[in-house]
Amino acid sequence: MISTRVWGTLVRAKLAFILPVLLLLWGSLSWVGWHWHPGRTVPQALLIGLASAVLMAFAEFGHPFAHILSARYAGAPMDELLIADGMPRTLYWNNEVSPNAHRLRALGGLIFNILGLLISAAVFAIVLSYPVVRELAAWSALGHGLLLIMSLFPVPMVDGGTLLKWTLVARGRAPAQADALVRQVDQGIAVTAAILGAFLCVTKMWLPGVILLGISAIVIGVVTGQVR
Ligand SMILES: [Zn+2]
């Protein structure tokens, strides 16, 4: 476990988690790049794959660091960022803060990924004569875009859920009422995704169907407290 301080927040990272993730990302992106461009030599494929993996990891791991900044700006600093066991976790010991502070804390990561997505898309659109640069920009955009979509999900523990809950509280609901409403929204999402996923599987559109069924299962897990 590496332990350091970044902008005043304790950051602990488990190399046994980060290194395998990076190696897997590097290997698979190199393979995909080589598969799509068979003319590429193995060192070229590995080098471009490495750059792609670094950009995607930046989208993933930059997100929690942006929360450190937005939490400081909100006057409710993050106490610890723990990067281990499956995903980065942003830990706050003091959660008795205003609805606005909750929302500002949650906004940092989203703003980071929106900016990353816009910059990557701009590079992709402008740099027409350098295909490798465009390829890297596309991976970067994919990394930021995927994380943005996942972060916007209105489930508890995810930024979208935090934003929804504390926006409801800011508009006069009690926190418990807001939690109940978020749960209702999640139940709606789970049922809709399950019906749509089952329909897509029946019509043999397997990939989107299975993804939707997976989303439904995860949301049901979160609502019932099985997934934390
Ligand atoms: Zn986040």
49, 26 Cβ separation under 8 angstroms: yes
Q: How far is the CA of 43 from the centre of ligand 1 (A)?
A: 35
CA distances from 211 to 205, 214, 218 (A): 10, 5, 11
**CA proximity to 55, closest of 133, 170, 108, 149:** 133
Q: How far is the CA of 174 from the centre of ligand 1 (A)?
A: 24
CA distances from 67 to 46, 50, 79, 98, 99 (A): 32, 26, 11, 16, 16
Start-to-end Cα distance in the chain: 22
Residues contacting 25, CB < 8 A, separation 6+: 53, 56, 57
pLDDT of residue 228: 67
Q: How far is the CA of 105 from the centre of ligand 1 (A)?
A: 9
Q: How far is the CA of 135 from the centre of ligand 1 (A)?
A: 26
71, 77 Cβ separation under 8 angstroms: yes
Q: Which helix (H) or strand (E) element contains residue 152?
A: helix 131-152
pLDDT (tens digit, 9 = 90+) per residue, 16-46?
Answer: 988 999 999 999 999 999 999 989 999 999 9
Q: How far is the CA of 131 from the centre of ligand 1 (A)?
A: 31
Q: How far is the CA of 62 from the centre of ligand 1 (A)?
A: 10
Q: How far is the CA of 23 from the centre of ligand 1 (A)?
A: 23
User: Rounded to whole angstroms, how far apart are CA atoms 165 and 179?
Assistant: 6
pLDDT (tens digit, 9 = 90+) per residue, 132-178?
Answer: 999 999 999 999 999 999 999 998 889 999 999 999 999 999 999 99
